[in-house]
C-alpha cells in the first residue's frame, strides 16, 4: 500500500511569512494527525482529525496555526505568521482509527524560519 | 513535566554490545508503542504492548511492559550499525485518547 505522502519536503521562509503543508494519508485511514518535532525532541501532537472532524487540537497554537481536512481525506496545515520558534519538522500520520491503531507517518516537512 | 521520560537520551556503543532503553511515567497507559526514526524519515512502529508484564520479541529486540503499565523497556542484543536511530516510546493514557511521545533515545552503533 502507498504510504503517507507529504509535501513539500523542505521549506525556508522568513519570519512573519505564511506557509502551508499538505498531507495525503493512507487510503481508508479515518484518523489523521499533525505532529511538530523540534530537533532533538519527540513529536508533539498539534491536531488530530477523525474523518473530517477535529478530535483534539488542544496543543495547536490557534492564533497562528490552522488545519483542515475538508473531505475527510487530504489535510493542510497552515502557519500565519511564522515565528523563528516554528522551525521544526512537521509530521503527518494516519491510522485506521483513534483507539490504539498504529500510526503510519510520512517523511515530514522540514521548515526553517529565518 | 514530560509525561514519558526516556533514558538515556544519547547512547553510543560498539557493534556487538547489548543495550537497554527505558521509558518511565507516573501515569498508567492502556497501551504503549515503540517507534524507530531514522534521519529524514518519519517514525516507524516497532511494537505495541497492551498487557501489564507483557514481553514481546522482534528478532534481537525485546520489549517489556511494566506490571503496573507505567513503564517499558527495550533491550537490544548484539547491536548492529543498522540499529542506529532515534527510539521513541509513545503511550495512550487510560484516562484519555491522545498518543503522547517521549523525547527519544538517540542510539549510535559504531562498526
SS3 readout for B48-86: EECCCCCEEEECCEEEEECCCCCEEEEEECCCCHHHCEE
Residues of chain B with pLDDT under 70: 1-2
Q: What does the alpha-carbon distance between residue B26 and residue B9 come to, in Å, rounded to a whole number? A: 19
CB contact B102 to A (< 8 Å): yes
Amino acid B2: pLDDT: 61
CB contact B30 to A (< 8 Å): yes
CB contact A57 to B (< 8 Å): no
User: Starting at the edge strand that comes first in sequence, how are the strands of the sheet with A65-68 ordered?
Assistant: A5-7, A19-24, A75-79, A65-68
Which of these, A36, A34, A37, A38, lies nearest to A54 by C-alpha position? A34
Q: Which tens digit of pLDDT belongs to each residue from A57-73? A: 999 999 999 999 988 89
Interchain contact, B100 vs A45, CB within 8 Å: yes
Using pLDDT thresholds of 50, 70 and 90, give the confidence band for residue A90: very high
Which of these, B59, B52, B45, B6, lies nearest to B30 by C-alpha position? B52
For residue A89, give the C-alpha cell.
519538522
Interchain contact, B43 vs A98, CB within 8 Å: no
Helix (H) or strand (E) holding B12: strand B10-14
Give the range among A35-39, A49-53, B19-23, B72-76 with minimum mean pLDDT. A49-53
Contacts of A93 (CB under 8 A, 6+ apart): A4, A32, A33, A35, A103, A104, A105, A106, B42
Q: Which tens digit of pLDDT belongs to each residue from B70-79? A: 999 999 999 9
Which of these, A59, A58, A64, A77, lies nearest to A15 by C-alpha position? A64
Amino acid A1: pLDDT: 67
Contacts of B41 (CB under 8 A, 6+ apart): A105, A107, A108
Amino acid at each position: 500500500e502507498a504510504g503517507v505522502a507529504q509535501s513539500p519536503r523542505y521549506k525556508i521562509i522568513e519570519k512573519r511569512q505564511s506557509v502551508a503543508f499538505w498531507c495525503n494519508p493512507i487510503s481508508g485511514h479515518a484518523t489523521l494527525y499533525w505532529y511538530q518535532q523540534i530537533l532533538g525532541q519527540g513529536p508533539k501532537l498539534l491536531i488530530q482529525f477523525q474523518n473530517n472532524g477535529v478530535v483534539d487540537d488542544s496543543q495547536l497554537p490557534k492564533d497562528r496555526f490552522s488545519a483542515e481536512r475538508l473531505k475527510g481525506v487530504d489535510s493542510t496545515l497552515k502557519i500565519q505568521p511564522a515565528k523563528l520558534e516554528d522551525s521544526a519538522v512537521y509530521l503527518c500520520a494516519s491510522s485506521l482509527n483513534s483507539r490504539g491503531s498504529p500510526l503510519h507517518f510520512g517523511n515530514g516537512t522540514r521548515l526553517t524560519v529565518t | 513535566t514530560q509525561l514519558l521520560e526516556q533514558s538515556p537520551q544519547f547512547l553510543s556503543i560498539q557493534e556487538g554490545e547489548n543495550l537497554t532503553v527505558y521509558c518511565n511515567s507516573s501515569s498508567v497507559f492502556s497501551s504503549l508503542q515503540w517507534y524507530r526514526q531514522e534521519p529524514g524519515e518519519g517514525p516507524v512502529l516497532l511494537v505495541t504492548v497492551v498487557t501489564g508484564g507483557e514481553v514481546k520479541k522482534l528478532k534481537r529486540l525485546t520489549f517489556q511492559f511494566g506490571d503496573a503499565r507505567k513503564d517499558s523497556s527495550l533491550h537490544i542484543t548484539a547491536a548492529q550499525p543498522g540499529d542506529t536511530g532515534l527510539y521513541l516510546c509513545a503511550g495512550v493514557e487510560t484516562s484519555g485518547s491522545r498518543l503522547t511521545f517521549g523525547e527519544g533515545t538517540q542510539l549510535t552503533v559504531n562498526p
